[in-house]
Protein backbone atom coordinates (compact mmCIF):
# COMPACT_ATOMS: atom_id res chain seq x y z
CA UNK A 1 0.00 0.00 0.00
CA UNK A 2 1.46 3.37 -1.01
CA UNK A 3 1.15 6.30 1.35
CA UNK A 4 -1.06 8.37 -0.94
CA UNK A 5 -3.61 5.71 -1.93
CA UNK A 6 -5.38 4.82 1.32
CA UNK A 7 -8.69 6.48 2.16
CA UNK A 8 -8.46 5.20 5.74
CA UNK A 9 -7.20 7.76 8.26
CA UNK A 10 -3.75 7.61 9.74
CA UNK A 11 -4.19 7.06 13.47
CA UNK A 12 -2.13 9.15 15.88
CA UNK A 13 -1.90 7.99 19.48
CA UNK A 14 -1.57 11.06 21.70
CA UNK A 15 -2.73 14.65 21.40
CA UNK A 16 0.27 16.44 22.88
CA UNK A 17 2.84 18.52 21.04
CA UNK A 18 4.09 15.58 18.95
CA UNK A 19 0.67 14.18 18.10
CA UNK A 20 -0.87 17.50 17.13
CA UNK A 21 2.24 18.39 15.11
CA UNK A 22 2.06 15.13 13.18
CA UNK A 23 -1.66 15.65 12.52
CA UNK A 24 -1.12 19.17 11.19
CA UNK A 25 1.81 18.15 8.99
CA UNK A 26 -0.18 15.30 7.44
CA UNK A 27 -3.40 17.29 7.08
CA UNK A 28 -1.51 19.93 5.09
CA UNK A 29 -1.00 17.17 2.51
CA UNK A 30 -4.74 16.49 2.45
CA UNK A 31 -4.45 13.23 4.40
CA UNK A 32 -7.25 12.07 6.69
CA UNK A 33 -6.01 11.81 10.27
CA UNK A 34 -7.61 10.63 13.51
CA UNK A 35 -6.04 11.66 16.81
CA UNK A 36 -6.63 9.26 19.72
CA UNK A 37 -6.21 11.29 22.91
CA UNK A 38 -6.50 9.51 26.26
CA UNK A 39 -7.78 12.56 28.16
CA UNK A 40 -11.39 13.65 28.08
CA UNK A 41 -10.18 17.19 27.44
CA UNK A 42 -6.97 18.70 26.15
CA UNK A 43 -4.90 20.18 28.95
CA UNK A 44 -1.14 20.61 28.92
CA UNK A 45 0.40 20.21 32.34
CA UNK A 46 3.54 22.16 33.01
CA UNK A 47 4.68 25.68 32.54
CA UNK A 48 7.11 27.10 30.01
CA UNK A 49 8.73 25.66 26.93
CA UNK A 50 11.63 27.05 24.91
CA UNK A 51 11.42 26.77 21.13
CA UNK A 52 14.60 27.23 19.13
CA UNK A 53 14.66 28.38 15.49
CA UNK A 54 14.63 24.74 14.34
CA UNK A 55 11.13 24.46 15.84
CA UNK A 56 9.76 27.95 15.11
CA UNK A 57 10.78 27.59 11.45
CA UNK A 58 8.36 24.66 11.15
CA UNK A 59 5.63 26.19 13.31
CA UNK A 60 5.71 29.31 11.16
CA UNK A 61 5.31 27.23 8.00
CA UNK A 62 2.30 25.50 9.59
CA UNK A 63 0.80 28.91 10.53
CA UNK A 64 0.88 27.95 14.21
CA UNK A 65 3.37 30.60 15.32
CA UNK A 66 1.08 33.45 14.30
CA UNK A 67 -1.75 32.00 16.40
CA UNK A 68 0.37 32.38 19.53
CA UNK A 69 0.55 36.14 19.01
CA UNK A 70 1.14 38.16 22.16
CA UNK A 71 1.63 35.03 24.28
CA UNK A 72 5.10 34.58 22.76
CA UNK A 73 8.24 36.08 24.25
CA UNK A 74 11.41 36.39 22.18
CA UNK A 75 14.21 36.81 24.76
CA UNK A 76 17.10 38.98 23.68
CA UNK A 77 19.59 36.53 25.14
CA UNK A 78 20.51 33.98 27.79
CA UNK A 79 22.50 35.30 30.74
CA UNK A 80 24.63 32.58 32.34
CA UNK A 81 25.50 32.96 36.03
CA UNK A 82 27.54 31.12 38.61
CA UNK A 83 24.92 30.02 41.12
CA UNK A 84 27.19 30.26 44.17
CA UNK A 85 28.84 33.64 43.58
CA UNK A 86 26.08 35.20 41.48
CA UNK A 87 28.66 36.43 38.96
CA UNK A 88 27.57 36.67 35.34
CA UNK A 89 29.73 34.39 33.22
CA UNK A 90 28.44 34.89 29.70
CA UNK A 91 25.59 36.09 27.52
CA UNK A 92 24.34 34.08 24.55
CA UNK A 93 22.62 36.50 22.14
CA UNK A 94 19.17 35.53 20.87
CA UNK A 95 16.44 37.94 19.74
CA UNK A 96 17.36 39.73 16.52
CA UNK A 97 20.77 38.01 16.43
CA UNK A 98 19.20 34.55 16.33
CA UNK A 99 16.63 35.54 13.73
CA UNK A 100 19.31 37.02 11.48
CA UNK A 101 21.50 33.96 11.81
CA UNK A 102 18.84 31.28 11.42
CA UNK A 103 15.98 33.02 9.66
CA UNK A 104 13.53 32.19 12.45
CA UNK A 105 13.16 33.37 16.06
CA UNK A 106 13.99 31.80 19.38
CA UNK A 107 10.89 32.07 21.55
CA UNK A 108 9.55 30.98 24.91
CA UNK A 109 5.90 30.29 25.62
CA UNK A 110 3.65 28.64 28.18
CA UNK A 111 2.98 25.02 27.23
CA UNK A 112 -0.75 25.54 27.51
CA UNK A 113 -0.53 28.40 25.00
CA UNK A 114 1.48 26.28 22.57
CA UNK A 115 -1.03 23.46 22.98
CA UNK A 116 -3.84 25.91 22.29
CA UNK A 117 -2.16 27.16 19.11
CA UNK A 118 -1.60 23.63 17.84
CA UNK A 119 -5.11 22.52 18.76
CA UNK A 120 -6.74 25.53 17.08
CA UNK A 121 -4.74 24.81 13.94
CA UNK A 122 -5.71 21.13 14.02
CA UNK A 123 -9.40 21.85 14.56
CA UNK A 124 -9.38 24.22 11.59
CA UNK A 125 -8.36 21.37 9.28
CA UNK A 126 -11.25 19.25 7.95
CA UNK A 127 -8.85 16.33 7.46
CA UNK A 128 -8.35 15.95 11.23
CA UNK A 129 -10.75 14.11 13.52
CA UNK A 130 -10.08 14.19 17.25
CA UNK A 131 -11.27 11.42 19.57
CA UNK A 132 -10.91 12.08 23.31
CA UNK A 133 -11.18 9.57 26.14
CA UNK A 134 -9.41 6.95 24.01
CA UNK A 135 -6.78 5.29 26.21
CA UNK A 136 -4.87 3.01 23.88
CA UNK A 137 -3.78 -0.30 25.33
CA UNK A 138 -2.53 -2.17 22.27
CA UNK A 139 -2.65 -2.33 18.50
CA UNK A 140 -2.80 -5.13 15.97
CA UNK A 141 -2.20 -5.40 12.26
CA UNK A 142 -5.32 -6.34 10.31
CA UNK A 143 -5.95 -6.95 6.64
CA UNK A 144 -6.99 -3.37 5.96
CA UNK A 145 -4.33 -1.69 8.13
CA UNK A 146 -4.17 -1.16 11.89
CA UNK A 147 -6.67 -1.67 14.70
CA UNK A 148 -6.02 0.32 17.90
CA UNK A 149 -7.73 -0.96 21.05
CA UNK A 150 -8.79 1.25 23.98
CA UNK A 151 -9.36 0.33 27.61
CA UNK A 152 -13.07 1.03 27.05
CA UNK A 153 -13.26 -1.71 24.43
CA UNK A 154 -13.51 0.77 21.56
CA UNK A 155 -11.50 -0.10 18.45
CA UNK A 156 -10.17 2.53 16.03
CA UNK A 157 -9.14 1.44 12.56
CA UNK A 158 -6.75 3.16 10.21
CA UNK A 159 -4.18 2.71 7.48
CA UNK A 160 -1.23 3.28 9.85
CA UNK A 161 -0.43 4.23 13.44
CA UNK A 162 1.88 7.01 14.61
CA UNK A 163 2.64 6.66 18.31
CA UNK A 164 3.09 10.05 19.94
CA UNK A 165 1.97 8.73 23.33
CA UNK A 166 4.85 10.11 25.33
CA UNK A 167 7.60 8.85 27.56
CA UNK A 168 5.41 6.06 28.98
CA UNK A 169 4.35 4.95 25.48
CA UNK A 170 2.34 1.74 25.36
CA UNK A 171 3.03 1.39 21.66
CA UNK A 172 6.77 1.52 22.37
CA UNK A 173 6.31 -1.19 24.98
CA UNK A 174 4.62 -3.41 22.41
CA UNK A 175 7.36 -2.76 19.83
CA UNK A 176 10.22 -3.02 22.34
CA UNK A 177 9.10 -5.19 25.28
CA UNK A 178 12.50 -5.08 26.96
CA UNK A 179 13.02 -1.30 26.75
CA UNK A 180 12.89 0.29 30.20
CA UNK A 181 13.18 3.87 31.41
CA UNK A 182 16.15 4.63 33.65
CA UNK A 183 16.08 7.30 36.36
CA UNK A 184 18.71 9.95 35.64
CA UNK A 185 19.37 10.82 39.29
CA UNK A 186 17.83 14.27 38.84
CA UNK A 187 14.49 15.84 39.65
CA UNK A 188 13.05 19.01 38.11
CA UNK A 189 10.84 21.47 39.98
CA UNK A 190 8.73 24.18 38.37
CA UNK A 191 6.66 27.19 39.36
CA UNK A 192 5.18 30.33 37.83
CA UNK A 193 5.54 33.76 39.43
CA UNK A 194 4.49 37.30 38.61
CA UNK A 195 7.45 39.40 37.37
CA UNK A 196 7.06 41.81 40.31
CA UNK A 197 7.70 38.91 42.70
CA UNK A 198 11.19 38.26 41.34
CA UNK A 199 12.97 41.58 40.67
CA UNK A 200 16.22 39.91 41.73
CA UNK A 201 16.29 37.90 38.49
CA UNK A 202 16.99 40.94 36.32
CA UNK A 203 15.55 42.08 32.98
CA UNK A 204 12.45 40.25 31.79
CA UNK A 205 13.83 40.21 28.24
CA UNK A 206 16.58 37.81 29.26
CA UNK A 207 16.50 34.11 29.98
CA UNK A 208 18.59 33.20 33.02
CA UNK A 209 20.69 30.07 33.51
CA UNK A 210 22.41 29.59 36.89
CA UNK A 211 25.01 26.83 37.33
CA UNK A 212 26.30 25.23 40.53
CA UNK A 213 27.43 21.89 41.95
CA UNK A 214 24.59 19.35 41.93
CA UNK A 215 21.90 21.85 40.91
CA UNK A 216 20.98 24.50 38.36
CA UNK A 217 18.20 27.00 37.76
CA UNK A 218 16.48 28.33 34.62
CA UNK A 219 14.00 31.20 34.37
CA UNK A 220 12.30 33.07 31.56
CA UNK A 221 9.18 35.13 30.89
CA UNK A 222 6.03 33.53 29.45
CA UNK A 223 2.46 34.67 28.72
CA UNK A 224 3.78 37.70 26.87
CA UNK A 225 5.82 38.72 29.91
CA UNK A 226 2.92 38.44 32.37
CA UNK A 227 4.54 35.52 34.23
CA UNK A 228 7.99 34.10 34.90
CA UNK A 229 8.61 30.38 34.52
CA UNK A 230 11.16 28.95 36.95
CA UNK A 231 12.65 25.47 36.69
CA UNK A 232 15.04 24.18 39.34
CA UNK A 233 16.90 20.91 38.70
CA UNK A 234 18.60 19.04 41.52
CA UNK A 235 20.41 15.76 41.96
CA UNK A 236 18.00 13.66 43.97
CA UNK A 237 16.75 10.14 44.70
CA UNK A 238 13.02 10.81 44.25
CA UNK A 239 12.09 8.86 41.14
CA UNK A 240 8.33 8.44 40.89
CA UNK A 241 6.90 8.60 37.38
CA UNK A 242 4.61 11.48 36.52
CA UNK A 243 4.80 15.07 35.35
CA UNK A 244 2.67 17.02 37.77
CA UNK A 245 3.39 15.99 41.38
CA UNK A 246 2.64 18.64 43.99
CA UNK A 247 5.79 19.33 45.98
CA UNK A 248 6.89 21.05 49.19
CA UNK A 249 9.47 23.83 48.97
CA UNK A 250 11.08 22.59 52.19
CA UNK A 251 12.48 19.69 50.14
CA UNK A 252 13.88 21.96 47.46
CA UNK A 253 15.35 24.98 49.23
CA UNK A 254 18.13 23.11 51.11
CA UNK A 255 19.68 22.27 47.72
CA UNK A 256 20.14 26.03 47.19
CA UNK A 257 21.17 27.08 50.70
CA UNK A 258 24.67 28.16 49.61
CA UNK A 259 23.52 29.97 46.48
CA UNK A 260 23.76 33.68 45.73
CA UNK A 261 21.02 35.83 47.26
CA UNK A 262 19.21 36.81 43.99
CA UNK A 263 18.58 33.19 43.03
CA UNK A 264 17.58 32.18 46.57
CA UNK A 265 15.16 35.09 46.78
CA UNK A 266 13.40 33.96 43.62
CA UNK A 267 13.04 30.39 44.88
CA UNK A 268 11.77 31.57 48.26
CA UNK A 269 9.15 33.77 46.57
CA UNK A 270 7.31 30.76 45.15
CA UNK A 271 4.25 29.56 47.08
CA UNK A 272 3.63 26.35 45.14
CA UNK A 273 5.79 23.87 43.27
CA UNK A 274 5.34 20.89 40.99
CA UNK A 275 8.06 18.34 40.40
CA UNK A 276 8.89 15.46 38.09
CA UNK A 277 11.68 12.92 37.98
CA UNK A 278 13.87 12.92 34.87
CA UNK A 279 14.16 9.60 33.07
CA UNK A 280 16.32 8.38 30.19
CA UNK A 281 15.94 5.58 27.69
CA UNK A 282 18.70 3.67 25.91
CA UNK A 283 18.53 3.86 22.09
CA UNK A 284 15.72 1.63 20.88
CA UNK A 285 16.25 -1.39 18.69
CA UNK A 286 12.96 -0.71 16.92
CA UNK A 287 11.21 2.57 16.12
CA UNK A 288 8.97 1.10 13.45
CA UNK A 289 7.35 -2.14 12.38
CA UNK A 290 5.21 -2.34 9.25
CA UNK A 291 2.73 0.52 9.39
CA UNK A 292 3.44 1.48 13.02
CA UNK A 293 6.04 4.10 13.97
CA UNK A 294 7.15 6.03 17.07
CA UNK A 295 7.50 9.81 17.30
CA UNK A 296 8.73 12.28 19.93
CA UNK A 297 9.22 11.14 23.52
CA UNK A 298 7.84 7.71 22.64
CA UNK A 299 10.97 7.17 20.53
CA UNK A 300 13.63 9.35 22.16
CA UNK A 301 12.91 10.97 25.56
CA UNK A 302 15.06 14.08 26.07
CA UNK A 303 16.62 15.37 29.25
CA UNK A 304 15.70 19.08 29.41
CA UNK A 305 19.23 20.50 29.45
CA UNK A 306 19.15 21.62 25.81
CA UNK A 307 15.47 22.66 25.76
CA UNK A 308 14.78 20.43 22.75
CA UNK A 309 12.16 17.87 23.77
CA UNK A 310 9.25 19.64 22.09
CA UNK A 311 11.39 20.76 19.17
CA UNK A 312 12.48 17.21 18.37
CA UNK A 313 8.84 16.06 18.25
CA UNK A 314 8.01 18.94 15.89
CA UNK A 315 10.98 18.05 13.69
CA UNK A 316 9.93 14.38 13.72
CA UNK A 317 6.46 15.33 12.51
CA UNK A 318 7.79 17.46 9.65
CA UNK A 319 10.25 14.81 8.46
CA UNK A 320 7.70 11.99 8.72
CA UNK A 321 5.18 13.96 6.66
CA UNK A 322 7.84 14.76 4.07
CA UNK A 323 8.73 11.09 3.64
CA UNK A 324 5.09 10.06 3.38
CA UNK A 325 4.64 12.66 0.63
CA UNK A 326 7.08 10.95 -1.74
CA UNK A 327 5.02 9.69 -4.72
CA UNK A 328 4.62 5.93 -4.96
CA UNK A 329 6.34 5.26 -1.63
CA UNK A 330 4.85 2.45 0.48
CA UNK A 331 4.00 3.50 4.03
CA UNK A 332 6.47 0.96 5.43
CA UNK A 333 9.26 2.41 3.30
CA UNK A 334 8.38 5.98 4.25
CA UNK A 335 8.44 5.05 7.93
CA UNK A 336 11.79 3.30 7.44
CA UNK A 337 13.33 6.36 5.80
CA UNK A 338 11.99 8.60 8.57
CA UNK A 339 13.59 6.35 11.19
CA UNK A 340 16.94 6.29 9.41
CA UNK A 341 16.90 10.08 9.11
CA UNK A 342 15.85 10.82 12.68
CA UNK A 343 17.79 8.29 14.76
CA UNK A 344 21.17 9.96 14.36
CA UNK A 345 19.86 13.49 14.82
CA UNK A 346 17.89 12.73 17.97
CA UNK A 347 20.73 10.67 19.44
CA UNK A 348 23.09 13.64 18.97
CA UNK A 349 20.62 15.93 20.71
CA UNK A 350 20.17 13.46 23.57
CA UNK A 351 23.93 13.22 24.05
CA UNK A 352 24.39 17.00 23.90
CA UNK A 353 21.65 17.47 26.48
CA UNK A 354 23.18 14.86 28.75
CA UNK A 355 26.57 16.55 28.39
CA UNK A 356 25.08 19.93 29.30
CA UNK A 357 23.62 18.40 32.45
CA UNK A 358 27.08 17.28 33.53
CA UNK A 359 28.66 20.65 32.74
CA UNK A 360 25.95 22.59 34.57
CA UNK A 361 26.61 20.67 37.81
CA UNK A 362 30.41 20.68 37.87
CA UNK A 363 32.15 21.22 41.21
CA UNK A 364 35.63 22.10 42.43
CA UNK A 365 38.38 22.79 39.91
CA UNK A 366 36.17 21.66 37.03
CA UNK A 367 33.62 24.35 37.94
CA UNK A 368 36.29 27.05 37.92
CA UNK A 369 37.60 25.84 34.56
CA UNK A 370 34.10 25.89 33.08
CA UNK A 371 33.53 29.42 34.34
CA UNK A 372 36.85 30.58 32.88
CA UNK A 373 35.96 29.16 29.47
CA UNK A 374 32.54 30.82 29.51
CA UNK A 375 34.02 34.18 30.44
CA UNK A 376 36.51 33.96 27.59
CA UNK A 377 34.01 33.26 24.80
CA UNK A 378 32.60 35.99 22.55
CA UNK A 379 28.79 36.12 22.58
CA UNK A 380 28.57 35.43 18.82
CA UNK A 381 30.80 32.39 19.23
CA UNK A 382 28.56 31.04 21.98
CA UNK A 383 25.53 31.32 19.71
CA UNK A 384 27.46 29.77 16.81
CA UNK A 385 27.94 26.59 18.82
CA UNK A 386 24.25 25.89 18.17
CA UNK A 387 24.37 26.18 14.39
CA UNK A 388 24.12 22.39 14.02
CA UNK A 389 20.97 22.44 16.13
CA UNK A 390 19.10 25.60 15.22
CA UNK A 391 19.96 25.55 11.53
CA UNK A 392 17.98 22.37 10.85
CA UNK A 393 15.35 22.73 8.11
CA UNK A 394 13.28 19.69 7.06
CA UNK A 395 12.35 21.33 3.78
CA UNK A 396 8.95 21.26 2.13
CA UNK A 397 7.27 17.90 1.54
Nearest to 209 by CA among 338, 374, 99, 52: 374
Helix axes 17-27, 309-324, angle to 10 degrees: 30
Residue pair 329/2 in contact (Cβ under 8 Å)? The answer is yes
Q: What is the C-alpha separation between 216 and 207, in angstroms, rounded?
A: 14
Q: What is the C-alpha separation between 105 and 117, in angstroms, rounded?
A: 17
- Do the bridges between strand 273-280 and strand 215-222 make them parallel or antiparallel, or are there none, so unpaired? unpaired
The residues carrying an active-site annotation are 220
User: In the chain, which ranges are E strands?
Assistant: 10-13, 33-36, 48-51, 77-82, 88-93, 107-110, 128-131, 136-142, 145-150, 155-158, 160-163, 182-193, 206-212, 215-222, 227-235, 245-247, 273-280, 288-289, 292-294
Pick left, alpha or beta for residue 130 (phi over 0 → left; psi -120 to 50 → alpha; otherwise beta): beta
Residue pair 165/148 in contact (Cβ under 8 Å)? The answer is no
Instruction: Specify the DSSP class assigned to residue 69.
Output: G
Residue pair 289/206 in contact (Cβ under 8 Å)? The answer is no
Amino acid sequence: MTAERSSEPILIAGGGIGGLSAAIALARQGRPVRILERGETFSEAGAGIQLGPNATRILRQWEVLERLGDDLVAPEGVSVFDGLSGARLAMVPLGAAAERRYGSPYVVVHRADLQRGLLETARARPEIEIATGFELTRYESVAEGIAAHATSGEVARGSALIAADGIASRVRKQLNPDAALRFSGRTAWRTLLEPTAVPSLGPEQRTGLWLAPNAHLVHYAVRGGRAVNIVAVVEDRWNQEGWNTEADASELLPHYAAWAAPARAALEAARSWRKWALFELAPLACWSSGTVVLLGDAAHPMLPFLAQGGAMAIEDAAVLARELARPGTPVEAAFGRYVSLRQGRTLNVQEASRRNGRVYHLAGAARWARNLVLRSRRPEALLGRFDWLYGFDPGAP
